[in-house]
């Protein structure tokens, strides 16, 4: 009984959320997204109602998240790499035309004057408008105007509430976020005039000064007659002024060509690319070297062995983001502990050579315990008899290590070294949290001397100042994908994961 009830509740909840999302997307006129949610809801219902989908019931939740948040973003990255997607080119062409037309507006001399009450239905903001002269009541949203007959009115005949919508109170209007949404709301009357709030209680009619000419695909300034033909996702005026916003267009392989040949982008890109590889190799070699040395040293019956081991694991146990931030303090050139301890004045984080040394040192600190742990484990699994037999045959300690222990060790460790290379290739945390990729590289506005590809991507897309260039950032991501795929294909044959498949 309890189980049936629980199922019913879950079932109702899923369908409720599904239906609600579908209606929300329908009111927003997002037909594509709506049909995706619709299909998804039907699939979920089918899987949990049909008797023939036993395995799918257990796999569906994970699969849904996998597809939406991992597989889809990968394809979307590839798609974005072929567009001019960036801040200023975020919207579709239609929305951009609307945006430009709406951004050039001026009050209409003979236009209507309104008082309004701000109302909302879920997230949709609306103006309950009362015409100051005729006292006619209208509901305006970003989609348009509807005449209202069932509004509640106050003694002056102004609409203050309507069924199905919630009215904002005067104190709500003090919220700057809401104020901003209110002032940016434009209620379209027709293709070129709008009703716009000009205070928190009154609104006026405004008309756009430019007009879209659908035949010649251009914008025309109504007063001056200037034309703005479209070019590569923008309307561009005779003097070269770009009208904002622009829109997303496919640019073909332009971004790829730019990354590979445009000096301003390809120069830093190749430098960052080479450093990424050097970085990943040096990190693997140094951490494996130190880890192995420590494992060999401490892998002998001695007092305090356990204490050494648990102390050496501390860097691995501390949350890495904190360790890196702490090292940032220790390496501060003016006040940091390291410079004061050694009485030096080394610009650890602000000189391109020393910054590279710093990120390598800090990452060595972060990753040697892992190598220490795995090599200790691997060393212990090598039977001692092998070394003893070799010793009887006259091999010295170095020969035993070089000819017997090391080759056996590499069998189990080499897949881990490849994995470590792959993960350090994308080790964003150490680089970004320690140096922010800096200091800046000569000849590049974005890239810095310690930037690796993933931090370079991050800065292209989300960096302060410059940034917002999603198309180019995605193109760099595609390059990383290709490199990671090659490393993976190489290591795939070497992992034991496949054996687990039966």
Partner 1 sequence: MKISTWLRKTGWRHLVGVIAAVYALVPLIWVVDASFNGLSNLSTASIIPDHFSLDNYRKLLTDPNYPYLTWYKNTLLVAGLAAILQVAIAASAAFAFSRLRFKGRRVSMLGILIIQMFPQLLALVALYLFMFQIHTWFPAIGTGTKAGLILVYLGGAMGVNTYLIKGFFDTIPRELDDSAKVDGASQWQSFRLIILPLAAPVLAVVGLLAFIGMINDFLIASVLLQDSKNYTLAVGLQQFVSGRYDEKWGPFAAGALLASIPVILLFQFLQRYIVEGLTAGSVKG
Locus of tokens 């622009």? 246
Residue pair 428/420 in contact (Cβ under 8 Å)? The answer is no
To partner 1, the closest distance from the beta carbon of 314 in angstroms equals: 5
174 forms part of the interface with partner 1 (CB under 8 A): no
Q: Which of 308, 352, 382, 405 binds partner 1 (CB under 8 A)?
A: 308
408 forms part of the interface with partner 1 (CB under 8 A): no
Cα distance between residue 282 and residue 424, in whole Å: 10
28 forms part of the interface with partner 1 (CB under 8 A): yes
Locus of tokens 């001695």? 302
Of 373, 368, 363, the C-alpha closest to 320 is 363
Considering only the stretches 19-27, 196-204, 236-244, 386-394, report the one whose residues sit in contact with partner 1 under the rule CB under 8 A.
19-27
Determine the 3-state secondary structure of 494 from DSSP.
Answer: coil
496 forms part of the interface with partner 1 (CB under 8 A): yes
> Which one, 231 or 340, has the nearer CB to partner 1?
340
> Which one, 1 or 55, has the nearer CB to partner 1?
55
Angle (CA) 435 437 440, round 5°: 100
To partner 1, the closest distance from the beta carbon of 405 in angstroms equals: 17
> Which one, 124 or 399, has the nearer CB to partner 1?
124
Using CB under 8 A as the binding rule, the residues of this chain from 324 to 353 that contact partner 1 are 325-330, 332, 334-337, 340-341
Q: Which of 4, 55, 147, 384 binds partner 1 (CB under 8 A)?
A: 55
> Which one, 106 or 317, has the nearer CB to partner 1?
317
Cα distance between residue 434 and residue 261, in whole Å: 31
302 forms part of the interface with partner 1 (CB under 8 A): yes
Residue pair 279/357 in contact (Cβ under 8 Å)? The answer is no
State the greatest distance between any 2 C-alpha atoms of the chain, in Å, as a whole number. 111
Residue pair 147/141 in contact (Cβ under 8 Å)? The answer is no
Record the tokens describing residue 28, joined without a space: 């927003």
Q: Is 207 exposed, middle or buried (0-12, 13-18, 19+ CB in 10 A)?
A: middle
DSSP assignment of 318-350 equals: S-HHHHHHHHHHHT-TTT-HHHHHHT----TTT
123 forms part of the interface with partner 1 (CB under 8 A): yes
Q: Which of 10, 12, 16, 73 binds partner 1 (CB under 8 A)?
A: 73
Using CB under 8 A as the binding rule, the residues of this chain from 278 to 297 that contact partner 1 are 294, 297
> Which one, 157 or 329, has the nearer CB to partner 1?
329
40 forms part of the interface with partner 1 (CB under 8 A): no
Q: Is 89 exposed, middle or buried (0-12, 13-18, 19+ CB in 10 A)?
A: buried
Using CB under 8 A as the binding rule, the residues of this chain from 354 to 383 that contact partner 1 are 365, 369-370, 373-374, 377-378
Q: Which of 62, 164, 240, 465 binds partner 1 (CB under 8 A)?
A: 62
> Which one, 105 or 453, has the nearer CB to partner 1?
453
DSSP assignment of 60-126 equals: HHHHHHHIIIIIHHHHHHHHHTTB--BTTB-B-HHHHHHHHHHHSEEE-TT--EEEEEEEEETTEEE
Q: How many residues sit close enough to partner 1 to count as binding (CB under 8 A)?
A: 103
Contacts (Cβ under 8 Å, ≥6 apart) of 238: 226, 227
To partner 1, the closest distance from the beta carbon of 273 in angstroms equals: 15
Using CB under 8 A as the binding rule, the residues of this chain from 443 to 482 that contact partner 1 are 454, 457-458, 461-462, 470, 473-474, 477, 480-481
69 forms part of the interface with partner 1 (CB under 8 A): yes
DSSP state of 198: S
To partner 1, the closest distance from the beta carbon of 50 in angstroms equals: 14
To partner 1, the closest distance from the beta carbon of 275 in angstroms equals: 18
Q: Strand pairing partners for 91? A: 247
Q: Which of 19, 278, 322, 391 binds partner 1 (CB under 8 A)?
A: 322
> Which one, 14 or 419, has the nearer CB to partner 1?
419
Considering only the stretches 42-50, 147-155, 270-278, 420-428, report the one whose residues sit in contact with partner 1 under the rule CB under 8 A.
420-428
Considering only the stretches 155-163, 190-198, 206-214, 309-317, report the one whose residues sit in contact with partner 1 under the rule CB under 8 A.
309-317
Q: Which of 31, 46, 72, 353 binds partner 1 (CB under 8 A)?
A: 72
Contacts (Cβ under 8 Å, ≥6 apart) of 78: 474, 478, 481
Q: Which of 6, 39, 253, 314 binds partner 1 (CB under 8 A)?
A: 314
Determine the 3-state secondary structure of 228 from DSSP.
Answer: strand
128 forms part of the interface with partner 1 (CB under 8 A): no
């Amino acid at each position: 009984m309890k189980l049936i009830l629980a199922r019913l509740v879950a079932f109702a909840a899923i369908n409720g959320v599904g239906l609600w999302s579908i209606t929300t997307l329908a009111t927003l006129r997002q037909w594509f997204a709506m049909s995706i949610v619709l299909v998804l809801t039907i699939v979920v219902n089918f899987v949990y109602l049909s008797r023939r989908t036993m395995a799918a019931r257990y796999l569906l939740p994970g699969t849904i998240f996998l597809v939406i948040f991992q597989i889809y973003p990968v394809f979307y990255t590839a798609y974005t790499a072929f567009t001019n997607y960036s801040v200023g080119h975020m919207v579709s062409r239609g929305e951009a035309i609307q945006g430009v037309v709406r951004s050039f507006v001026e009050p209409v001399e003979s236009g209507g004057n309104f008082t309004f009450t701000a109302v909302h239905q879920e997230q949709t903001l609306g103006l309950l408008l009362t015409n100051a002269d005729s006292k006619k009541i209208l509901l305006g949203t970003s989609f348009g105007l509807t005449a209202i007959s069932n509004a509640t009115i106050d003694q002056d005949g102004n609409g203050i509430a309507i069924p199905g919508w919630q009215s904002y109170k005067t104190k709500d209007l003090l919220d700057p976020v809401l104020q901003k949404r209110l002032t940016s709301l434009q209620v379209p009357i027709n293709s070129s005039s709008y009703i716009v709030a000009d205070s928190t209680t009154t609104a006026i009619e405004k008309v756009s000064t430019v007009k879209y000419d659908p035949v010649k695909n251009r914008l025309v300034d109504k007063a001056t007659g200037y034309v703005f033909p479209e070019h590569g996702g923008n309307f561009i005026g005779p003097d070269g002024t770009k009208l904002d916003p622009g829109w997303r267009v496919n640019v073909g392989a332009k971004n790829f060509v730019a990354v590979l040949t445009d000096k301003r982008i390809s120069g830093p890109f190749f430098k960052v690319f080479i450093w990424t590889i050097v970085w990943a190799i040096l990190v693997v070699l140094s951490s494996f070297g130190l880890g192995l040395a420590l494992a060999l040293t401490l892998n002998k019956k001695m007092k305090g062995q356990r204490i050494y081991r648990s102390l050496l694991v501390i860097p691995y146990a501390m949350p890495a983001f904190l360790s890196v931030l702490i090292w940032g303090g220790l390496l501060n050139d003016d006040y940091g502990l390291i410079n004061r301890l050694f009485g030096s004045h080394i610009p650890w984080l602000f000189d391109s050579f020393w910054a590279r040394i710093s990120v390598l040192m800090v990452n060595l600190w972060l990753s040697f315990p892992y190598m220490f742990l795995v090599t200790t484990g691997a060393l212990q699994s090598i039977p001692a008899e092998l070394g003893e037999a070799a010793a009887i045959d006259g091999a010295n300690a170095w020969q035993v290590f070089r000819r017997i222990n090391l080759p056996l060790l590499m069998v189990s460790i080499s897949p881990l070294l490849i994995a470590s290379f792959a993960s350090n290739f994308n080790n964003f945390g150490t680089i970004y949290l320690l140096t922010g990729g800096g200091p800046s590289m000569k000849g590049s506005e974005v890239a810095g001397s310690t930037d690796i590809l993933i931090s370079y991507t991050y800065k292209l897309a989300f960096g302060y100042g410059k940034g917002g260039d999603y198309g180019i950032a995605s193109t760099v991501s595609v390059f990383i994908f290709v490199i990671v795929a090659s490393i993976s294909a190489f290591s795939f044959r070497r992992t034991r994961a496949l054996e687990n498949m039966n």
